[in-house]
Structure 1
């Protein structure tokens, strides 16, 4: 078991991820690869952007900070 607690996104960041996925990703992960992937997926469609943003925010090991 890992004793290191990972930071959890706040309520504001989760609401932003639902309304504007790149903003939610930016608030939690910064201006990295995950942000740009979220921007591209949101341009394709709102739902793919939201799903990816929530995945990145709730499971940070999916995409490393960069």
Structure 2
């Protein structure tokens, strides 16, 4: 799977603000809500979930 420049931007956004990376990838849906909750519980779970979403789609 080849990465584009937009994928790299999404991954960088996911490091600093995980819900933003998920929003860019999937839009406003259940994945975004899950990521917001995980980010509130802890920054690391939010980043892991965001990277998972970006790599999966």
TM-score by length of 1: 0.75
Which of the pair has more CA radius of gyration?
1
Moved over 3 A (4+): none
Q: Which runs of 5+ in 1 are unaligned?
A: 61-66
Whichever structure has more helix as a proportion of its residues is 2
TM-score by length of 2: 0.85
**In the alignment, structure 1 residue 12 sits paired with structure 2 residue 9:** yes
Q: SS at the partner of 1:55? A: helix
* Aligned positions, number: 55
